[in-house]
Amino acid sequence: MPRLEELIRAEAVRVDVPAADRTAAITAAGRLLEQEGAIEPAYTRAMLDTVAEHGPYIVITPGFALAHARPDESVHRTALSLVRLAEPVAFGHESNDPVTLVAALAAADAGAHQEALAALAGVLAEPERRRALDEAATAEELREVLVREPERPAATGGHGRRADRTAPPEQAPPADPARAEEGTVPSKHLILTVCGNGVGTSLFLKNTTEQVLDRWGWTPYLSVEATDTISAKGKAKDADVLLTSGAIAQALGDVGVPVEVIENFTSTTEIDAALRRLYAI
């Protein structure tokens, strides 16, 4: 799988980009991918259409938006761009506005970019590096913040993902979710993370959820699958819970299983609390 530094080329990073609204901000990020030949203009239009249809769910953490659309023939290769806006822009997200950083993700398929997105999620979850993204003086410095390896090794769970060093030292849950509490509904051993297309923000949420499960020791018992809204409705009956944004939750409606709204897709603390409510621990 390509690493983050391979997906985001120097030519696809800009600072102090003017944008009057979210349409202009997403368009600016898309144009960078167009200029380097990663996508056709049709993909930029598709990213805008996705937000028009599903709302500002792409604002996955305070100040940061991840624009993306479904893989199609307008994507020539998997790539990522990043613009830092000259002035903050309101995207319409209740909790995470205003936006200062906009990334555009073009995925040639549904899986090749997962490792890179996990690395990006790690940068956004680390307060010092997140602050450095806002303070970088040039595009070169901004890209360096993204792609450099952490100076200190972070604690990891069973699959090598970063543990959240800011997470509260709560008591570990039972070793098996089926034993969480007598009388509860048996687990189906599946959690769905949902976004409009299943290839961008849902992967961020999947990565953070897996960090929580790693810390709990529940990885052998629960699988986490990133999916899109249409597929989620069909798969919901096989899952314990759907994790998603407020806008996507409204679009999903009643799917017959709990739907937990997550505001900050990089916060293990928020997802930890949501899963503890679900599994009564």
Catalytic residues: 68
Quote the tokens at residue 116. Answer: 């890179």
Longest dimension (CA), the chain: 58
Yes or no: say if 251 and 218 are a contact pair by the CB < 8 Å rule.
Answer: no
Which helix (H) or strand (E) element contains residue 227? Answer: strand 223-228
The span from the CA of 165 to the CA of 71, in Å, is 34
Yes or no: say if 260 and 243 are a contact pair by the CB < 8 Å rule.
Answer: yes
Helix spans in 105-152 (H):
114-125, 127-135, 139-147
Query: Residue 246 contacts by C-beta under 8 Å, 6 or more apart in sequence?
Result: 57, 94, 261, 263
Quote the tokens at residue 22. Answer: 């979210």
Quote the tokens at residue 239. Answer: 């899952």
> What 3-state DSSP class applies to 269?
helix
- The residue count for the chain: 281
Sign (positive or negative) of CA dihedral 231, 236, 242, 248: positive
Query: Residue 53 contacts by C-beta under 8 Å, 6 or more apart in sequence?
Result: 196
Residue 89: name the closest of 98, 81, 80 by CA. 98
